[in-house]
Structure 1
């Protein structure tokens, strides 16, 4: 596992979060169609767990300080956070 893989997964997870927030949730609460939340939410949850696991692996492999892991974790729970974290990862390559 390397930084490039982490960057790709981070961006995919960020996109899934935005889809959940701006497509699936409005579909559920504005139009009464909860099916998108079920599938997009499940996909996002799996991607989130994979991202955190990969972030931990990469941090250990490259011996990064703990604040980088925490920064990545916080970025993963904020909308648009993974894209900002990607800039940090790009600097670290």
Structure 2
């Protein structure tokens, strides 16, 4: 597992979050169209779990403070948060993986 994988998962998790709450939830509740919500919901759930696991892995590997870990985890539940987190904490100019 490397930093590039975490960057990719964080971006995909952010996209899936926006699709889930911005597209498929309105389809489900306003148009009674459940199919896309089930698919995107499953994808988002898998990406969310992967994001959280990777956050803990890189917390130890990069020797982040607990407050940094808290911010990284908090970003997973805030719209657009994972995009900001990726730029702030995972961008190649910001981190050197050992």
| TM-score, reference length from structure 2 | 0.87
Alignment correspondent of 1:15? 15
Alignment correspondent of 1:62? 62
Stretches of structure 2 that go unaligned for 5 or more consecutive residues are none
Alignment correspondent of 1:35? 35
Alignment correspondent of 2:47? 47
> What is the RMSD computed on CA atoms of the aligned residues?
1.2
Cα distance in 2 between the residues matched to 1:36 and 1:8: 22
Moved over 4 A (4+): none
Cα distance in 2 between the residues matched to 1:81 and 1:32: 29
Q: Deviations over 1:31-90 (max 9, x none)?
A: 110121111111101110010001100111111111111111100001111011112122
Cα distance in 2 between the residues matched to 1:52 and 1:92: 20
| TM-score, reference length from structure 1 | 0.92
Matched, 1:92 2:94: yes
Aligned residue pairs total 93
Q: Which has the higher helix share?
A: 1
